[in-house]
Structure formats: C-alpha cells, structure tokens
Chain A
Amino acid sequence: MGVKTYILKRTAYSVALIFIVVTLNFIIFRLMPGDPYAVMIEKYIMTPEMIEATLRKWGLDRPIWEQYYLYIVNLFQFRFGLSHRTYEPVENEILARLPNTLALVGTSVIASTILRVLIGIYTASRRGRLVDSIIVSASVVLNSIPTFWFGMLLLLFLAFDLGLFPAHGTITPPPYTPKDPWAYLLDYLWHLALPFAALTAIITGGGVIRTRNLVLDSLSQDYVITARAKGIPERDVLYKHVFKNIQLPIVTQAAMSIARCVGGAMTTETVFTWYGMGRYTFESISNLDYPALQGIFFVICLLVITSNFICDMIYGFLDPRVKYGGE
C-alpha cells in the first residue's frame, strides 16, 4: 500500500463519515416530535393558500429527497438558517465562537498529549516505586472525575474564593480595553488558564496508564535489551529508542483524545462561560434553538472528523509500513 492509496483511502473514509453524520442529522430533525411548521400554522391563523405559500417558501412542499439535497447544499455552503433565539444567521454566531473553542481544544490536546507521553515514560521507568503507584492511582481517580465538575472546583476555589483567575468569559469586559495586542493576548490567556487546566488534567489523567503500559511493553522487547547491553544510557533508551517505537500508538491515542476533548470542552466552556461552541450548545439547548443545534453539530463533527483525518495523515507519515508499502 503506497502513500497515495493510503491518503485516498483515508480521504474517502472521512468523506463517507461526514455524509453519514450529515444524513443522521437530517433524519434526527425530521423525526422531531411535532410538525416543524405546525407551530407557525397554529400561531397565525392561516388560509390554505398561505399555508401552501409558507411550505413553498421553506421548501417543505418538495419531495423528501429534494429537501435532503437542498439541505446538503446549504450545509456545505455553511448556511444553517436563522437562530430561533437571536434571528441572526447561525453561521455568523458559530464563526464568532469557533476560534475560542479551537484555542481551548487545540492547546488542551497538544498539552495533554505531551504530558501523557512524558509522565507515561517517567512512571514506567519508575515501575513499582512509590511515584509509580501514586501516578497510577491519580490517573485512575482523574479518569473517574467528570471534567466539568473538576472545572467547577477550580472555578469555585481559584477564581471565586481566592480571586487568582477571572471567573467569566474569554476577555475582561469592555471598561478594560487593552490597545496593545500583547496585553490583549495576555488577558485572553489568563482567561484561558482555568478551562485549559481543567480539560488538560482530565484528558491527561486517563491516558497516562495507557502510555505507561505501552512503554512497559516496549521495555521487555529485544531492541531495548540490546540497547541496554550496548551501554546506552537509560535516559536515551527511554526517550530515543522507546519513544520512537511508541510513536504510532501515541498518535492513535491523540486522535482519540480529540473527540474526548471536544466532548469535554462542551461542558467545560459552559462552566467557565467561555465564549465558544460548547457554551453555545448549552444556550441553544436551553432555548430549543434547533437551527443552531444543527449547525453546531455539523461543525463539531467536521472538526472531529478533520482532526482525525490529520492524525491519520501523521500516522501514515510515521508508519514505515505505509511509506514503503507492504503490510
């Protein structure tokens, strides 16, 4: 299997996945209890002509497959309709919030991947000692803690009680307007700190054990024994030889952690009133803002599937079996 076939295969798979998700989305909103336009017809007493005109206006008089086609076309042009709550186009609302979510999820995924690897290797090299058992227990405990609750604790004690961090939003509200872009960035990062810490801690927690087990597996392999026999320092054995050999599963884990991180961000953003997609989801749920939910769902799925695709590409790049063909 060459690089080209690999890329093509993964691309086809991702596109298929997007279509499945999109179709699911379409079906879900058709299955919704109650008629989407019955509300309107009930609200304003309508003549049959008016009903017909309304149905035509929203394209509801067309056969279902044509509706589906229009839906797909609109979706891929990022036209999600008007929000039930603000009467703004949903895509504008999403566009305003997406960068914040990307910042939160991106930093958390990268930081947790690095932490997971470092801590995993470290604790594997200290196997059986006190540090090892402490880290493993901490990892098990962190794995069973709900992300948002951890965030709530941080918010309660560090932001509200001690006042070390801001309690709301992504930047300090208007009276404080930094002209200097660096000051602005600093303010942003200061607000990012707590949600980032909450998300990273929990995402890292569960993965440490898996990395540790990977390293332990590698440590019993022949090449490690050879390397040690050659007198290579233990540090180099761990961080050069072993690391190189566990790269692939680490990439797979990172890909899996993206989905978890996006899920975690939805609640964490709500906790910290972080102006992102998760917070928007919460607002849309409480206001039954269906067009917004539909748009959010599409964008998040796109985000997860795209990042998985990128991970697949990195995997392909790292895996010699893909690069040089063969199985």
Chain B
Amino acid sequence: MVEKRTLWKRAADFWDKYKRSKFGLLGLAILMSFVFMAVFAPFLTPYDPILDRDLAGWLAYPEWIGLIDPSKAGLPPNIRIPMVKQAIQGEGEMIVSNSSLIKTFVEDGSLIVEVVNPTGTLRGKESITLISTFEYQYDPPRTFGISLWGNLTGDTEDFILKAKFDLTKPNGEKVKVWESGYTAGFLGRIKSGQLIDVRSSSPVLLLMLGLPPQREYFAKKVFSEKGLFQLKATFEFTMLGTGKPSKLRLILHHYQFIVYGRRFGLLGTDDMARDIFTQIVYGARISLMVGIAASLTTVGLSVLVGVIAGYMGGKTDEALMRFADLVMVLPGLPLMIVIASVLGGGLMMIVLLLSVLGWAGSSRNIRAFVLSIKEMSYVEASRAKGAGSWRIIFKHILPSVMPIAYANLALYAPLAITTEAELSYLGVGGNPFLISWGKMLQYAQTRGAFQYNAWWWVIPPGLCIALLSLSFILIGHSLDEILNPRLRRR
C-alpha cells in the first residue's frame, strides 16, 4: 500500500510540474485529440476510408466552402430523389397504362408491379411511369445519375422488359438520360438482383447518347439552368403472347435519381469520391501506431545498448560504440526504401527498420549517462555491500536512465512518423487495405489534386503529420526539462 501511495504521489508531483509547461500542455492536448480520433474512428465517421466510394462527386469541395469562397456557395450538395417514394406519396404521380393488367402495391417501401397476361393471347405494350419533380437551385454538378435495384421474377420468357429515364428541364426541353438498352445485360442484372448504377460521366452512356466524351459535359448541359425539373421513369412490358397464361413480377427496392454533390462532408472527397475526413481519422491510427511502436523499440534498443556499453566498459563498450557510429552514418532513408521495397513486410517492416537504424544516437547519450552513474558513491556502496551486476543495473542504473529514455521516446516519435509518411508517399511498404496520411498525399500527387487545385486533399494529411510530430516534440521537450534538469535547454 505504501509503495502504491508513493507512486501515486510521485505521479501527482510530476503532473504538478508538467502543468506549468504551457507548451507541454498544448502538445498533450494535440496528442490526446489524435488518440481520441484513432480510438473512436468508427464513431466519428460512418464511412469506410477505402471501400466507400462515390459518396459525392469526385473531388467535391468541403461542405463549408461557401463560407470562405462565396463564389462557390452555389455548388450543389448531394441530392437524392427516391423515385418510388415520391411517385406514391403524392408529390409525384404514378401512371399505369392499363390497370386491369398491371397491379401495383407497396411493401416495406418497395414497389411491387405485377403484370399478367390472363389468357396468354394478349400482345402489345403496357407500361408504368413514375413521375416526380424537384427544385434545383445550384450550379451544375460534375455528374448525376440513377441507381436502380430491382428484382424480376415470374414467366420472364413471355415478356420483354424495357426501362427508360427522361428528364424535363425548367424551360420545357426534354432530355433523354438512359434506357435499359444502354446497360449491357440489363435483364440478367435485374433478374439476379444486381444494382444498376448509371452515371452521366460514364463514357459508355455518353457514347450511346451521342454526346462528346467529356466527363462533365452531360451534367453541365442538363443543369445549365435552375428551376423545377421533372423526372420520368418508365417501365415498358411487351407481352409476347405465347399462348399460355403468364405473370411477371417486378419488385423495385430502390430507384433513385442522384445529383452527386460538389461539396461534401468536413473535408470534401478525393478522386474516387471517398470521404477525406474519414481517411484522416483512420490515418491517425497508422501514424500513432508507427510512431509509438517505433519509438518504444528504438528507445528500448538504445537503453539496452547504452546500459550494456556503459556498465561493461572496456572492449564491449568500444565495439558497441564503434558499431553505433557506423549505424549513425548509414544513409537511413535510402536503406529503408531499398529494404522495405525489396523485402516487403508493410508497417511491421517500417517499424523494424526505424528501430534498427535509429537507436545509435541516443544510445551514446545513455552510455555517457550510465558512465557517470556508475561512479556515483551510492552505486559504489551498493557494490561494496556485495550487490550483483543485475541488482545494480535494475536497482540503480535503469531507474536513473529512465527519465532520459522517456524524453527520448517522445523525441523519436516525430522522426518515425515523418519517415513513415515519406515511405508511404514514395509507395514503399504499402498495404493496399490501409490508408495512411503519407499514402493520401501520394494519391493526391498522382491522381490530379494539383490539376484540380484540390487543396482540401493536400493540406489536411500533411497538417496532421506536422501537428502530431509537433505534439510529440513539445511533450518531449517538457519532459526533458522536468526529468533532466541538468540537461535543461536555454
């Protein structure tokens, strides 16, 4: 109990001193917010950093762009018009060509359409049309589209199903957006319940519509004006009349018209329309992990070498310090690049390399410190009383070395964090299923952040790297001042 209380008291004493360092507190606050981000990542953002694509338009600005650049206040957010819901709930309408042959009902928000050919001799076309309107008051988007997810069952051989989608602009101009013939294997896909996703930026669609193959052309043309747009989705059933009574059942789970936003989320989107804020949040995990793991192993190694060299002295000391000199002058980054890209191994390899190449500098300091401790009279006294080497090392030397080690821990982490970022930026030691801040910057560089002036893609990752490194530096210096008053800096 006594032991515990003194430990608690020492911690409280330490905190009292630490509290006085303004920069130390600032560093701790920054570090804690990153730790919070890393731990609670899934609660901070609903998306996946890599898998959730097409959350908005590609390279969408942050949501708040209008606040700093009023000329961009008119950019559209994501707009989703649920066709079925709008058509049934009176804001739009649903037109059935022949109500005796086509029955519709709604179940769990899905629209079920049943088409019957009671005698099997009827031929001709029947159709169902969903109409809805929406108000559009923004600048043109980069892309818009429809997504359709249905299920077709019944005597599918006796019918031909076609779908099309038209749009009427506020000035009355009719624009054809899509028909099922444009989507390869439409019937097969709707039978097997696959999502059909049509995008105005798709080269195939542009080709089918006879439009120039520029990704943004169609969206700009359609949304060239603001006002009330009318959407018309038509399903056309052609009865083949094969002679036997037949029945077709189409379930529309989900049918949406989507304007992909040009502003989205806290930090916008990347070229695949993934959320950048999500990537930042999950990236914190990698940087923290690498920073902490690498500095723990590095400082562990340097303490080990420093204590052995300092305590043993003589030939061992000489050999270890020569070796340390050698490791210190090895060109670190090129060596890491070559080893990690040749041998692979991902983050573990990076941590390993950082510690193998990084221990030398601080092991020299620790050795010097151990040398001075060794000569202290209380160590001499302990030795005179017959204490063994292990007892002296664990009882006297390690406890006095630890303060230096703690400060070194915090001071080595920034180096580890920036080096990891540099390596992932160069594409070394990458794991395709993890996205780190360095890799975000690599993607930004190679996938056109500059051409589109996507500052929201370039600034946040680097800023986070810098802030996290800075927090460790601030903490390290404060620890150094408190724990090693003799080494106090000016």
Chain A residues with a Cβ under 8 A of chain B: 17, 20-21, 24-25, 28-29, 31-33, 127, 140-141, 143-150, 152-153, 155-157, 160-161, 167, 213, 216, 259, 262-263, 266-267, 270-271, 281-282, 285-286, 288, 290, 293-294, 296-297, 300-301, 304-305, 308
Question: What would be 20 A-B contacts, judged by CB atoms less than 8 Å apart?
Answer: A20-B326, A24-B335, A28-B342, A33-B344, A140-B474, A141-B470, A146-B418, A153-B458, A157-B455, A161-B453, A259-B331, A263-B331, A263-B332, A266-B337, A282-B427, A285-B337, A293-B342, A296-B334, A300-B331, A301-B331
Q: Is A141 within 8 A of B466, CB to CB? A: yes
* Chain B residue at minimal CB-CB distance from A288: B341
Flag whether B450 is at the interface (Cβ < 8 A): yes
- What's the Cα separation between A320 and B421 when bound, in Å? 43
State the CA gap A25–B334 with chains docked (Å).
11
A324 CA to B335 CA in the complex, in Å?
Answer: 38
- Shortest B258–chain A CB gap in Å is 30
The reply on B445 being an interface residue by CB < 8 A is yes
Residues of A within 8 A of B441 (CB): 148-149, 152
How many residue pairs bridge A and B at CB < 8 Å?
Answer: 139
The CA-CA distance from A274 to B309 in the complex, in Å, is: 44
A267 contacts B426, C-beta separation under 8 Å: yes
Could you say which residues of chain A place their CB within 8 Å of the CB of B451?
160
- B332 near A259 (CB under 8 angstroms)? yes
Let me know if B490 is at the binding interface, CB within 8 A.
yes
Q: B339 contacts A28, CB within 8 Å?
A: yes
Residue in B330, B339, B422 whose CB lies within 8 Å of A146: B422
B428 within 8 A of A: yes
Contacts A28-B339, A33-B344 given; does A145 touch B462 at CB 8 Å:
yes
Instruction: Say which residue of A21, A33, A157 sits within 8 Å of B330 (CB atoms).
Output: A21
If A152-B445, A301-B334 touch, does A144 touch B343 (CB 8 Å cutoff)? no
Kindly identify which residue among A144, A157, A216, A288 contacts B414, using a CB–CB cutoff of 8 Å: A144
A71 to chain B, nearest CB (A): 15
Measured between beta carbons, the chain A residues less than 8 angstroms from B329 are 17, 259, 304-305, 308
Is the Cβ of B444 less than 8 Å from the Cβ of A152? yes
B414:A25 contact, CB within 8 angstroms: no
A167's closest neighbor in chain B, by CB?
A: B450
For residue A263, which residues in chain B have a CB less than 8 angstroms away from its CB? 331-334, 422
Tell me how far the C-beta of A169 lies from the nearest C-beta in chain B, rounded to whole angstroms: 14
- Residue B273 interfacial (CB < 8 Å): no
Residue ID in chain B nearest A281 by CB atoms? B337
- Please tell me if the beta carbons of B450 and A25 are within 8 angstroms of each other in the complex: no
Give residues in B with beta carbon < 8 Å to A: 326, 329-335, 337-339, 341-344, 414, 418, 421-422, 425-428, 438, 441, 444-445, 449-451, 453, 455, 458-459, 461-462, 465-467, 469-470, 473-474, 489-490
- Cβ–Cβ contact B450 & A156, under 8 A: yes
Most B C-beta atoms less than 10 A away, residue of A152, A282, A304: A152
Given contacts A144-B414, A146-B466, contact A156 B333 (CB under 8 A): no
Query: A293 and B466: CB pair below 8 A?
Result: no
Q: How long is the Cα–Cα vector from A297 to B455 in the complex, in angstroms?
A: 33
Besides A140-B474, A266-B422, 11 new A-B residue pairs in contact (Cβ under 8 A), listed by A number: A140-B470, A146-B466, A147-B422, A149-B462, A149-B466, A157-B455, A213-B489, A266-B337, A266-B426, A270-B445, A294-B338
Q: Which 6 A-B pairs have the closest CB atoms?
A: A149-B462, A263-B333, A144-B469, A144-B470, A304-B331, A145-B466
Q: Are B338 and A262 in contact (CB under 8 A)?
A: no
Residues of A within 8 A of B453 (CB): 156, 160-161
Interfacial chain B residues near A300, Cβ < 8 Å: 331, 334
Give chain B residues whose Cβ lies under 8 Å from the Cβ of A157.
455
Which residues on B sit within 8 Å (CB–CB) of A31?
A: 342-343
B465 touches A281 (CB 8 A): no
Least CB distance, B431 to chain A, in whole angstroms: 15
Q: Please tell me if the beta carbons of A149 and B465 are within 8 angstroms of each other in the complex.
A: yes
Q: How far is the CA of A140 from the CA of B335 in the complex (A)?
A: 27
B466 touching A148, Cβ below 8 Å = no
B335 CB, min distance to chain A CBs, angstroms: 7
Q: Are B341 and A266 in contact (CB under 8 A)?
A: no
Which A residue sits closest to B426, measured CB to CB? A282
Complex contacts, A293 vs chain B, CB 8 Å? 337-338, 341-342
A298 to chain B, nearest CB (A): 10
Once the chains bind, are B338 and A152 in contact (CB under 8 Å)? Answer: no
* Docked complex Cα distance between A263 and B418 (Å): 12
Residues on B with C-beta less than 8 A from A286 are: 427
Inter-chain CA distance A294–B342, complex, in Å, is 10
Nearest B residue (CB) for A168: B450
Known A17-B329, A21-B330, A160-B451; contact A148-B343, beta-carbon cutoff 8 A: no
